[in-house]
Amino acid sequence: MTTTPRSAQTVGVASAIGAYLLWGVLPLYFLLLRPTEGWELVAWRVGLSFVFCLVLLAITRGWKPLMAIVRQPRLLALTALAGVLIYINWQVFVLATLNGEIVETSLGYFINPIGTMLLGVFVLKEKLRRLQWVAIGIATIAVLVIVFAHGTFPWIALSLTASFGIYGLVKKKIGPSVDALSGLTLESFWLLPVAVVQLIAVGLTTGITMGANGPLHAGLLAFAGVATAVPLLLFAAGTRRIGLTVIGMIQFITPIMQFLVGVLVMHEPMPVERWIGFGIVWVAIAVFLIDLALATRRMRANRGAIAEPNPGTDTIPVP
């Protein structure tokens, strides 16, 4: 094993923070695109992301890695599955944002790390520490409180948690065989037929808004591809350079920002039972972060113990 250089860690942290900051302000960007509705917006996100990726491939001359993936049916199938999952995530998130449910989208991303841990247990057969099970139990209580006290099932939050969590699992299965740009290019490519059908349906019903609301609106809507692709590419760059412990702490930037946008900017209703539910979620997150901090401290202590040479023996450098 080799030690990650400090410069690479700095780039990784900066990339991850950039990704989560951009995801945090996406609701405000989507609201600027009105009167474009969710189905049309996601269709443009798919199509323009694909175009943006092609431009980046041409600039970086990344065709060779892409073609290597195309020649492997298993990798192609996994990129198609990843495309379906990220499409579900995009569509639910955009529709919820435009329908005034930004606070519930933030709930989905607050509990996403806990959902990811469950996937690790049931799919990858990983073992959880005691505090991690405590965090899962507390988060479950929070969901039950929101369901029974508020009277509505948080399907938006749980759909976002499930889709993004399984998307991350698929990306983990793909591993280093698929670079970030090639992966996003193929994911967007598989979704092109869906995007075309959605644009046709919108054109036949409410009408396409691209170009119908002035140059400023058209320019903002055309930027959807960049706004979609850049955070995903930054996220991939970050996860390659820093550990999941750091990623786990950084990722709470997004739901905090989305929660503040929903409550302070959009003035979404927050009855007492919803505050209670969110309060319990935040307790679960606190337990989760405490566990991460303790695990990191133990790992560093173990490394220090291994690195310390025994008296009377030759010093063996530890990589």
For the stretch 103-147, pLDDT in tens is: 999 988 888 877 877 887 788 777 778 888 888 888 888 888 877
Alpha-carbon gap, residue 43 to 201, rounded angstroms:
11
| b (16+ CB within 10 A) / e for 184-209 | bbbbbbbbeebbeebbeebeeeeeeb
Six-digit token pair at 117?
């841990």
Residue 55 has pLDDT above 70, yes or no: yes
Q: What is the pLDDT of residue 2?
A: 46
At 317, is the pLDDT very low, low, confident or very high (cuts 50, 70, 90)? Answer: very low
- Domain assignment of residue 306, yes or no: no
Q: What is the pLDDT of residue 274?
A: 82
Alpha-carbon gap, residue 31 to 98, rounded angstroms:
6
Q: What is the pLDDT of residue 319?
A: 28
Q: What is the pLDDT of residue 311?
A: 47
- Domain assignment of residue 223, yes or no: yes
- List the end-to-end C-alpha distance of the chain, in Å, as a whole number: 6
**Helix, strand or coil for residue 308?**
coil
Backbone angles phi, psi at 39, to 5 degrees: -65, -40
CA dihedral 82, 222, 22, 166 (to 10 degrees): -10
At 78, is the pLDDT very low, low, confident or very high (cuts 50, 70, 90)? Answer: very high
Cα 297 from chain centroid? 26
Q: Of 261, 235, 182, 203, whose CA–CA distance to 44 is shortest?
A: 203
- Is residue 111 within 8 Å of 282, Cβ to Cβ? no
- Domain assignment of residue 38, yes or no: yes
Alpha-carbon gap, residue 262 to 143, rounded angstroms:
19
- Is residue 258 within 8 Å of 27, Cβ to Cβ? yes
Residue 221 has pLDDT above 80, yes or no: yes
Q: Of 78, 77, 54, whose CA–CA distance to 66 is shortest?
A: 54
Question: Within 10 Å of residue 236's Cβ, how many Cβ atoms?
Answer: 19
Q: What is the pLDDT of residue 236?
A: 75
Report cis status (omega within 30 of 0) of the bond before 35. Answer: yes
- Is residue 39 within 8 Å of 201, Cβ to Cβ? yes
Alpha-carbon gap, residue 114 to 128, rounded angstroms:
11
- Domain assignment of residue 183, yes or no: yes
Residue 242 has pLDDT above 50, yes or no: yes
Alpha-carbon gap, residue 294 to 22, rounded angstroms:
29
Alpha-carbon gap, residue 27 to 254, rounded angstroms:
11
Residue 224 has pLDDT above 80, yes or no: yes
- Domain assignment of residue 91, yes or no: yes
Q: Of 292, 298, 287, whose CA–CA distance to 133 is shortest?
A: 287
Residue 312 has pLDDT above 50, yes or no: no
- Domain assignment of residue 147, yes or no: yes
- Domain assignment of residue 171, yes or no: yes
Concatenated DSSP letters of 191-218: HHHHHHHHHHHHHHTT---TTTSHHHHH
- Domain assignment of residue 29, yes or no: yes
Alpha-carbon gap, residue 152 to 242, rounded angstroms:
38
Six-digit token pair at 244?
């999941």
Q: How many domains does the chain fold into?
A: 1
Residue 278 has pLDDT above 90, yes or no: no
CA distances for 268 relative to 27, 98, 150, 223, angstroms:
13, 12, 14, 27
Percentage of residues of the chain with pLDDT beyond 90: 44
Alpha-carbon gap, residue 98 to 33, rounded angstroms:
10
The count of C-alpha atoms lying within 13 angstroms of the C-alpha of 191, restricted to the half-sphere facing its C-beta, is 31
Please identify which residue in the block is written with the tokens 């609106």: 217
The predicted-structure confidence for 256-274, as pLDDT tens digits, reads as follows 899 999 999 999 988 888 8
Domain that holds residue 132: 8-300
